[in-house]
Structure 1
Amino acid sequence: MRGRRLSAVLFAGALGLAACGEPGSAGGGAPTEPAATATAGAAATCEPVPDEQLVVLEDDKALQTVDNVIPAIHAAAAQPAMIAALDAVSATLDTPALIELNKQVDIERNTSSQAAAGYYERAGIEVTDTSGSGEVVVGAGNFSESATLAELYALALRDAGYAVEVRTIGNRETYEPALESGELTVVPEYVGTLTEFLNLKVNGPDAEPLASPDLDATVEELRGLGEQVGLTFAAPAEAADQNAYAVTAAFAEEHDVSTLSELAEACGGLVLGGPPECPDRPFCQPGLEETYGLDIAEFVSLDAGGPLTKQALTSGEITLGMVFSSDAALATD
């Protein structure tokens, strides 16, 4: 699984992240054979269409658990000025903006602090409560998206009046206890994944999952769990980094599909690529088949949203691949 974070559904187990790189290219043209062949009583069999550009198909029936970005805070250190500053960041941040930030770092090789500073200025983030005081430590997970979000939080918190240090501190198993203890003050987190992490921590390994496709309901569960371990939360951003399913832009255009439901209606005989556990996970192949009625003819074992899956998509080896919704490879320019 991808090192940066576990999907909430994978972490929960009962409901059931690889480095970003430039996608490979096998050319942008369609295959020489017909792209689709119809069979009686079934959707046409749609062949993969190579293309360098990937697009995510909308999860219009809400198969995936929400994983919006949310600032997690050591509750004893929380102050109104701190919450307001973090809310100011969340209010501007949507998934396209997060994709662009990841592109700047993962593809264009800017530092996280450079990418964050440019976005902070372009987005016109304004911190109106400057009454904050004291030292704040913003923690970051050991992957670039978390580091960039941490730098964004730091900029807003400095404008609010705090003396801020940004500290990279490893994976969730390392930084979450540090956040509880107060060694860290703020960490950028993901709603669904953290909900299930705390759910298992508070309620035990057999706890029923609390994260869902409903953002408001999942945030409510997260806040309740946070109260039990000394954490509180600012507002979630619209930006999300969750499991998603992509095709090439050329395939989407050829078959006029933008949602998973439209794909199911238009195409059969699909070749799906993703992590080895995909055929056994409800959020992956079984969910795509049961929720959407997708006709998956073949599964190719690759990785979880990583370079193998993206390369297989762009080169036309697979039709549909599991990616992450904020991946830099989804940038459109």
Structure 2
Amino acid sequence: MHTRSGLLAAVAISAVALAGCTTYQDPSASDSMSAGTTESASMQAQACTPVAGDTLVVLADDMNLQLSDNVVPAVNADSATDPVMAALDVVSAALDTPTLIQLNKSVDVERQTSADVAAQFVSDNGLTAPQSGTGDLVVGTANFSENITLGEIYAAVLRDAGYTVEVRTIGSRETYMPALQSGEIDIVPEYAATATEYLNKAINGADAATIASGDIDTTMAAVAPLAEQSGIVFGTASAAQDQNAFATTQGFVDAYGVTTLSELAAACGPIILGGPAECPERAFCQVGLEDTYGIKIDSFLSLDAGGPLTKTAITDGDVALGLVFSSDGALG
């Protein structure tokens, strides 16, 4: 502060001394100031070019751009007894996203079966049912490995409670949700925000405004009355999420010191983004990165939705940031 005051005083004295004199402006001074301004701007937002590397890292969605697709058990209302719900809550308490990544890695990368991975997980974590029950239950699952593994984990803890349990792969949500409501199946591993919007549109119409949120508690509160109308009870949502995420390489993180999307926006100038063809027009993809975070996109490379093309483009250094799924086994 003292230095700045002294400088201002010196400028004032010089101005008085030069009053009435012809002013000469050195063109090189203007060029120098312009160069300094450009250098300052580049220091604030560096050119964050892609960095190749084998290790993928998800940048934290610290402003909740994505809706809260936490893993949550959905149960037919007639089957939602205290022992059943207590057993499912035990599973929810044991799950988080890093755990889900490792489960998926065991099945999708290491090629173990979902049943074996589930049994090992239950054993390693000492998961036991807190209450006893009897009867037959059917755990339905969607037709992809993560959901099947979760169904097997639910089944294992329910068997510990005393139930006879069948795990049955049903298919898509449009197939298993009606089966859950009718009682053909008793339980299914669900994803909070997506299940919420499925019920929202089924009850309130295809054009119903989105009620799911980036906050899981808000989402679960929003879905509760819809679930009651539909004959469904949701258990406790886990911390495990399977939703859109944006990944880069560990080398990129180390080079530019960013671990969140907000930090990326603050540290970097325009970047190269990769993802599915529709990404530039989607609120949860490029549009959201730009509008929610202020991330600048220099160019977009059309690849796939969290698949091998996008992941390879990230590790090869073709893109700085790519759309992946937060529970992908490749992140483990």
TM range (shorter): 0.7 to 0.9
Unaligned runs of 5+ in 1: 1-37
Asked whether 1:318 is paired with 2:319, we answer yes
Query: SS of the counterpart of 1:210?
Result: coil
| Partner Cα distance (2:200, 2:146) in 1 | 24
2:148 aligned residue: 147
2:66 counterpart residue number = 64
Alignment-derived partner of residue 108 in structure 1:
110
Give the superposition deviation at 1:83.
0.2
Shift of 1:40: 5.8
Residues of 2 paired with 1:40 and 1:288: CA distance?
24
Tell whether 2:331 aligns with 1:330.
yes
Distance 2:293 2:232 in 1: 37
* 1:94 pairs with 2:121: no
Q: Which residue of 2 aligns with 1:158?
A: 159
Give, in angstroms, the shift of residue 41 of structure 1: 2.7
- Structure 2 residue corresponding to 1:75, chosen from 65, 68, 77: 77
Deviations 1:60-92 (A, max 9, x none): 111111000000001112110000000000011
1:45: which partner in 2?
Answer: 47
Count of residues paired in the alignment: 293
Output the amino acid matched with 2:245.
Answer: A
- Deviation track 1:119-167 (CA, whole Å, cap 9, x = no partner) reads 111112121201x111100001000000000000000100111100000
TM-score by length of 2: 0.87
Matched AA of 1:110:
Q
Name the SS for the 2:47 alignment partner. strand
SS of equivalent to 1:271: strand
Distance 2:109 2:186 in 1: 30
What does residue 172 of structure 2 align with? 171
Distance 1:167 1:248 in 2: 38
Tell me which structure has the larger Cα radius of gyration: 2
User: Counterparts in 2 of 1:159-308, with a 5 A limit?
Assistant: 159-308=160-309
Matched residue type, 2:251: A
Asked if the contact 2:128/2:161 (under 8 Å) is kept, the reply is no
Kindly indicate which of the two structures has a greater share of residues assigned to helix.
Answer: 2
Task: Quote the sequence identity (%).
Answer: 56
**Does the Cα contact within 8 Å between 2:68 and 2:192 map onto a contact in 1?**
yes
Question: Residue 186 of structure 1 aligns to which amino acid in structure 2?
Answer: I
Q: C-alpha separation between the residues in 2 aligned to 1:244 and 1:257?
A: 15
Q: Which runs of 5+ in 2 are unaligned?
A: 1-37
Measured in 1, the distance between the counterparts of 2:266 and 2:234 equals: 41
2:272/2:321 contact within 8 Å kept: yes
4+ residue runs of structure 1 moved beyond 2 angstroms? 38-42
User: Aligned-pair distance for 1:39?
Assistant: 6.2
